[in-house]
Copies of this chain bind each other. A is one copy, B any other.
Amino acid sequence: MLATEKIEKKYDAAADCPIAATIDVIGGKWKPIIIWLLIQDTKRFGELHKFIPGIALKVLSRHLKEMEADGIIIRQAFAEVPPRVEYSLTEKGRSLTAIMQALAVWSNDNILGKE
């Protein structure tokens, strides 16, 4: 997006609403679980895949890349055989913990009892 051009910028919910911007970071279909798992512990790619039933490899891979680009997780590859890659939260990622807990609490209070 070039700021030098006086393009009549359309309002973009995700970019212009701070709340939506944060949801964008934690709001993919599987990102909450990934973050939640990493809050507890560093994990390898295969572990994440095992802990998250049903996620496609491609999707897991893309979510991890996005989260790395957003600066909330770190990817650490070890030059071994067989290869090992570990994912963990950055400080920024950890700073989401309180929010995650608040979201979980709200769910328990307002959604779980409903079904």
Task: Name A's B-contacting residues (CB within 8 A).
Answer: 10-11, 13-14, 17-23, 25-27, 29-30, 32-33, 36, 52-54, 71, 92, 95-96, 98-100, 102-104, 106-112
* A96 and B106 contact, CB distance less than 8 A: yes
Q: How far is the CA of A100 from the CA of B14 in the complex (A)?
A: 14
* Cβ-defined partner of A18 (8 Å) among B21, B95, B107: B107
- Other contacts beyond A25-B111, A95-B106: 20, CB < 8 A: A10-B53, A11-B52, A11-B53, A13-B32, A13-B33, A18-B103, A18-B112, A19-B100, A20-B29, A20-B33, A21-B112, A22-B103, A22-B110, A23-B23, A23-B32, A27-B27, A99-B99, A99-B102, A99-B103, A102-B102
Return chain B residues, CB-CB under 8 Å to A52.
11, 13
